[in-house]
Amino acid sequence: MAWRSLFEYRATYRKPYPDWYREAQALVFRDLALAVLGRPVDSPEKLLLVETLWAALHGVVSVAMDARFRDVSRPTIEAQIDLLSRLLSSGVDAFMSSSAPRG
């Protein structure tokens, strides 16, 4: 239930995000940065990369939890997350060393 609340939290009109939510997100982004980049986020582009990975992982988990695509077992979800993480992290070095402007 705690995992789902992290993904399903909706800010109410004109209220700032609660501290617990910002702290939970910061921990997720920190852990992803360390796992994928091998170092902390130190630029806006790297933060965007980590947020994009988080969004992709969120999609895998939320689709599986809601059984939108098909019934998915926990081992299958874990395998999908591992596959997605390995796929994205294999291209991180090329992405980060590219000098092409991003739009």
- State pLDDT tens for residues 7-58: 566 656 667 888 998 888 888 888 888 877 778 888 888 888 888 888 888 8
pTM of the predicted model, to two decimals?
0.60
Taking CA 68 as the corner, what is the angle to CA 59 and CA 1, rounded to the nearest 5 degrees? 65
Please compute the mean of the pLDDT values over residues 79-93 and round it to a whole number: 79
Two tokens, residue 46: 């790297």
Q: How confident is the model at residue 73 (pLDDT cuts 50, 70, 90)?
A: confident
Give the whole-angstrom CA distance, residue 33 versus residue 70: 30
